Structure 1
Amino acid sequence: MQRLHEAFLLVKDNLALAREQQRAPYDKRARQQKFRVGDKVLIAVRTPMSGTSRKLIPRFMGPFRIVKVNDNHTVKIQECAGKQTQLVHVNRIKPLYESMIWKEEP
């Protein structure tokens, strides 16, 4: 039982060390975006529609407007007024700049 307990503690320490080693490179490349209510964003397309080649689908959909910003790194977005909202993590969205728009939005 003593050896089993020692092995458990060793595994616990190794997992903590591995977690810290993986966190450092992630924190280097992670961007902290500050989104506000009313910002226009694009959402990343994760799953292609059936029957469509992955090469031909757009990587981002939008534009969406941010309706609510939560503390747990999620935002509630809405395509246009009156449509259904969806909750997404900030890693799946990117800000939409006016230079990205091809046509005038009413």
Structure 2
Amino acid sequence: MEVAKIIKEKLGTIVDVRSYDEFMGGHVAGSINTPLNEIPHRMQEIQELKAPLILCCASGNRSGQAQHFLTQHGIECYNGGSWLDVNYYQSQIS
């Protein structure tokens, strides 16, 4: 499924995998912050989120790592890349 469509139709959850400090410096409205290094310890919480998950970070690198890990654990997720790109898609919702 296309990331832009998931965001536009509010079909899932946006998860920002940057650090808490980075997240507090700016993030997508309605997104949740789960830093990449905390994902293995917060699997139960992640499994309870509305799927599919749209993962984002600063450049798409950390969200790509998160996607790889979560997909291996059976969680439907997509790498949204930079949080700024995801924010752009979010802003297109009328």
Assess same fold via TM > 0.5: no
Structure (1/2) with the larger helix percentage: 2
Structure number with higher relative contact order (C-alpha < 8 Å, ≥ 6 residues apart) = 2
Question: TM-score if structure 2 supplies the norm length?
Answer: 0.23
Larger-Rg structure: 1
Structure (1/2) with the larger strand percentage: 1
